[in-house]
């Protein structure tokens, strides 16, 4: 059966890879974006295709559409971008999710919400299972994003209980891959851009904090299984391979230019010390485990950045 999908944030990094998968399935896709951090370049190859429509819209405003599935990804994900206008970020999470749940209710669509490992805050237990309720600051510089995603999860479950809306909640851990913005500010893109430009790599703090990095194709596969499976979540989707930021810097440096230096900068406020998903639920419910190792995923990401680096208009948003 051909489905009609709405992908909010579809011109962004993860959203555009999801659009590719849905289009390759032969389904119809409505890609909705306000282009805050998304780019038409990411979905340009589908413009003009009869199954594809592009909608410039801000999810903080309601919209009426006829769809079967709503993939709700619209929200800046990099600290640099979500802290640019934190009040707008909180509005995007709350009002955006509220509007999309309202749409799902009206048309009987199933909605998957892109939540985040940030709902665990700076975690006191390690690794993090879905049952952990988190340690999030309500007043810090990351709160607009973290608390925004927490209320978005709450809205999903209240729409499910009150109105019977079919929801799926994915808690995404750090994801990387081709099409990340060069000025995104996240660690993988920063290190690759710095290394390709011959600049020292900027490690915040001592680089001993950890993250677990998931390649984007693995995440999108998890998304598809979660949407069509019977479990609402919340469900962790991430790669359990845990690395210190210094280890990541070393991996990037040895691939691009082993002679580069590291420079150490202050650790941002509320920066979580460690992050690693427990993915037993996704394994047992969806038969999902990530398959791309960090070294391999970095090679693919570096190849994409190299290509854009050589055509400077491609690197700039």
Residues catalogued as catalytic: 145
- Indicate whether 252 belongs to the interface with ligand NAD (CB under 6 A): no
Residues in the chain: 317
Q: Give the shortest CB-1-to-ligand NAD separation in angstroms.
A: 27
Q: Give the shortest CB-291-to-ligand NAD separation in angstroms.
A: 18
- What is the size of the binding site for ligand NAD (CB under 6 A)? 28
Q: What is the DSSP letter of 268?
A: P
Question: In terms of CB distance, is 202 or 257 closer to ligand UDP?
Answer: 202
- Indicate whether 132 belongs to the interface with ligand UDP (CB under 6 A): no
Segment interacting with ligand NAD (CB under 6 A) among 27-35, 103-111, 246-254, 279-287: 27-35
User: What are the structure tokens assigned to 57, written together?
Assistant: 């819209």
Beta strand segments in 35-131, E: 52-56, 69-72, 110-116
> Closest Cα partner for 265 from 176, 194, 178, 174?
194
Among 30, 43, 144, 172, binds ligand NAD (CB under 6 A): 172
- Indicate whether 277 belongs to the interface with ligand UDP (CB under 6 A): no
- CB-based contact 171:236 (threshold 8 Å): yes
Give the Cβ contact number of residue 227 at 10 Å: 19
- CB-based contact 5:26 (threshold 8 Å): no
Residue 108-147 contact track with ligand NAD, rule CB under 6 A, x = bound: ------x-x-------------------------------
Question: In terms of CB distance, is 59 or 235 closer to ligand NAD?
Answer: 59
Segment interacting with ligand NAD (CB under 6 A) among 4-12, 99-107, 122-130, 272-280: 4-12
Q: For strands 210-212 and 242-244, give the pairing.
A: antiparallel
DSSP H or E stretch at residue 306: helix 294-310
- What is the size of the binding site for ligand UDP (CB under 6 A)? 14
Please tell me the chain's helix, strand, coil percentages from 3-state DSSP, rounded to the nearest 5: 40, 20, 40
- Indicate whether 240 belongs to the interface with ligand UDP (CB under 6 A): no
Distant-in-sequence, close-in-space partners of 136: CB < 8 Å, separation ≥ 6 = 118, 119, 120, 121, 143, 146, 147, 150
For 6, 162, 167, 295, the CA distances from 33, given in Å and listed in that order, are: 11, 28, 21, 32
**Binding residues among 212-241 for ligand NAD as defined by CB under 6 A:** none
- The partner in contact with residue 79, picked from ligand NAD, ligand UDP, none with C-beta cut-offs of 5 to 8 angstroms by kind, is ligand UDP
**Binding residues among 244-273 for ligand UDP as defined by CB under 6 A:** 245, 268, 271
- The partner in contact with residue 203, picked from ligand UDP, ligand NAD, none with C-beta cut-offs of 5 to 8 angstroms by kind, is ligand UDP
- Indicate whether 35 belongs to the interface with ligand NAD (CB under 6 A): yes
Among 8, 97, 175, 209, binds ligand UDP (CB under 6 A): 209
- The 8 Å CB, 24+ separation contacts for 291-294 are 291/218, 292/215, 292/217, 292/218, 292/239, 293/241, 294/213, 294/215, 294/239, 294/241, 294/243, 294/248, 294/251
CA distance 272 to 143: 12
- Indicate whether 174 belongs to the interface with ligand NAD (CB under 6 A): yes
Question: In terms of CB distance, is 65 or 125 closer to ligand UDP?
Answer: 125
Q: Write out the residues near ligand NAD by the rule CB under 6 A.
A: 8-9, 11-15, 33-38, 58-60, 73-77, 92, 96, 114, 116, 172, 174-175
Residue ranges in contact with ligand UDP by CB under 6 A: 78-79, 174, 186-187, 190, 202-204, 209, 211, 245, 268, 271
């Amino acid at each position: 059966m051909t489905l009609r999908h709405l992908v909010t944030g579809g011109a962004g990094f993860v959203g555009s890879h999801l659009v590719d998968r849905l289009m390759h399935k032969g389904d119809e896709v409505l890609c909705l974006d306000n282009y805050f951090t998304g780019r038409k370049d990411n979905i340009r190859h589908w413009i003009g295709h009869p199954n594809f429509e592009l909608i410039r819209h801000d999810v903080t405003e309601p919209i009426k559409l006829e769809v079967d599935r709503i993939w709700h990804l619209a929200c800046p994900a990099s600290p640099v971008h979500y802290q640019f206008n934190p009040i707008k970020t909180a509005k995007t999470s709350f009002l955006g999710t509220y509007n999309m749940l309202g749409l799902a209710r009206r048309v009987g669509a199933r909605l998957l919400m892109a939540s985040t490992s940030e709902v665990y805050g700076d975690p006191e237990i390690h690794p993090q299972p879905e049952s952990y309720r988190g340690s999030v600051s309500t007043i810090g510089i990351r709160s607009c994003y973290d608390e925004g995603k927490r209320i978005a999860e709450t809205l999903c479950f209240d729409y499910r209980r009150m109105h019977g809306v079919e929801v799926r909640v994915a808690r995404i851990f750090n994801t990387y891959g081709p099409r990340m913005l060069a000025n995104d500010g996240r660690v993988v893109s920063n290190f690759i851009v710095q290394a390709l430009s011959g600049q020292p790599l900027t490690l915040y703090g001592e680089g001993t904090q950890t993250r677990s990095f998931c390649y984007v194709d693995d995440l999108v596969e998890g998304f598809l299984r979660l949407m069509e499976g019977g479990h609402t979540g919340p469900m962790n989707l991430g790669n359990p391979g845990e690395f210190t930021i210094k280890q990541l810097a070393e991996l990037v440096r040895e691939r691009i230019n082993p002679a580069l230096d590291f420079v150490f900068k202050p650790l941002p406020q509320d920066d979580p010390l460690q992050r690693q998903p427990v993915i037993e639920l996704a394994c047992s419910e969806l038969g999902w485990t990530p398959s791309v190792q960090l070294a391999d995923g970095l090679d693919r990401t570096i190849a994409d950045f190299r290509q854009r680096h050589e055509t400077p208009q491609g690197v700039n948003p």
